[in-house]
Amino acid sequence: MSDRKFKGSLFALLKAGDTITGAALDAAYATALNLRLQPPYVTDTVALIGDIRTRITERAGKQGDLATLTVAEQGLLKAVLKLTSQARETAKRAFKGNTVQLHDEFCVGNSDKSVAGILGNARIISASLKKTENVAALAAKGWLDADTQKLDAAIAAAAAGLQPRQPGASDEAGQTAFLNSEANDLYDRLQDIQNAADLEWPADDPANVAVRAKFLLGVFPYSGGSGGATPPPAPPAPGK
């Protein structure tokens, strides 16, 4: 199965895509950018974003939510939801104001209630709880290694108890692989657009601060997407 290059949530990737392509299509920048990235590169990227959103919606509809599960299955997922909620609340206190990290590493703001969404977010949160640079800050707010172990156990129990029972399970794996492939394509395309913008509006010219912020230069890829530390927020545009 194809793995995603962008290790954060697809929601974060799509949101960045909206921002970066929006800047690329802005009449103030499109002409210059199109000299570096020949049309229809940007519009094809916008279409890709739309296709990924459609596939996510279709897949979520097939996977169902808590209301479609048995009582026992609901119990397994509710245990995961309880622990991930506690982890999010602790992270909000430990990393107060760091919206990028909270969203990308702890899935704050992600309301996906599909089975795959719940378990996927839980795994992202678990990995973030274990990151060396996060452990001390979380511990200062009361989070213990034992709490992370409880979350891991809940994820394992839910994953085992909710194994696909329909013959179409292999089809779902294929859909996931294809979605990951599209996400990788989008991830590369967004960085291509950013590279063109970086060449056109270099960082060494103070007059380019505002336009660079519109292309999320220095902000995207987010922490978790590139494996690096959480970047500083984009500088505000003059007069904002």
**Of the residues 126, 161, 196, the one at which a domain ends:** 161
Tokens of 163: 């194994």
> Do 74 and 156 fall into the same domain?
yes
Q: What is the pLDDT of residue 223?
A: 59
> Do 56 and 88 fall into the same domain?
no
Most confident region among 62-71, 109-118, 143-152 by mean pLDDT: 143-152
Asked, for residue 110, whether it belongs to a domain, the answer is yes
What is the spatial distance between Cα 185 and Cα 169, in angstroms, rounded to a whole number? 25
Higher-confidence residue: 17 or 173?
Answer: 17
**Of the residues 129, 161, 193, the one at which a domain ends:** 161
> Do 196 and 156 fall into the same domain?
no
> Do 148 and 74 fall into the same domain?
yes
> Do 83 and 156 fall into the same domain?
yes
Q: What is the pLDDT of residue 231?
A: 42
What is the spatial distance between Cα 42 and Cα 25, in angstroms, rounded to a whole number? 7
> Do 157 and 116 fall into the same domain?
yes
Higher-confidence residue: 68 or 185?
Answer: 185
Asked, for residue 154, whether it belongs to a domain, the answer is yes
Confidence of residue 70 (pLDDT cuts 50, 70, 90): confident
Q: What is the pLDDT of residue 40?
A: 92
Q: Which domain holds residue 49?
A: 10-62+168-214
Question: What's the pTM value of the predicted model, to 2 decimals?
Answer: 0.52
Total domains, the chain:
2
192-226 pLDDT per residue, tens: 999 999 999 999 999 999 999 999 999 998 754 43
Q: What is the pLDDT of residue 69?
A: 67
What is the spatial distance between Cα 29 and Cα 37, in angstroms, rounded to a whole number? 12
DSSP labels, 74-88 = HHHHHHHHHHHHHHH
pLDDT of 121 over the 80 cut: yes
> Do 75 and 111 fall into the same domain?
yes
Asked, for residue 221, whether it belongs to a domain, the answer is no
Asked, for residue 178, whether it belongs to a domain, the answer is yes
CA torsion sign for 187, 190, 192, 198 is negative
Asked, for residue 232, whether it belongs to a domain, the answer is no
| Percentage of the chain exceeding pLDDT 70 | 81
150-200 pLDDT per residue, tens: 999 999 988 888 755 444 444 455 667 778 888 999 999 999 999 999 999
Average pLDDT, the chain: 83
> Do 17 and 83 fall into the same domain?
no
DSSP labels, 177-202 = HHHHHHHHHHHHHHHHHHHHHHHHS-
Nearest to 5 by CA among 183, 193, 219: 183
What is the spatial distance between Cα 192 and Cα 176, in angstroms, rounded to a whole number? 24
Tokens of 125: 């949160």
Q: What is the pLDDT of residue 226?
A: 39
Q: Which residues 6+ apart lie within 8 Å of 163 measured at CB?
A: none
> Do 57 and 93 fall into the same domain?
no
Asked, for residue 1, whether it belongs to a domain, the answer is no
Tokens of 234: 């984009």
Asked, for residue 185, whether it belongs to a domain, the answer is yes
> Do 157 and 75 fall into the same domain?
yes
> Alpha carbon of 189 to those of 16, 37, 152, 186, 226: distances in Å?
12, 10, 34, 5, 15
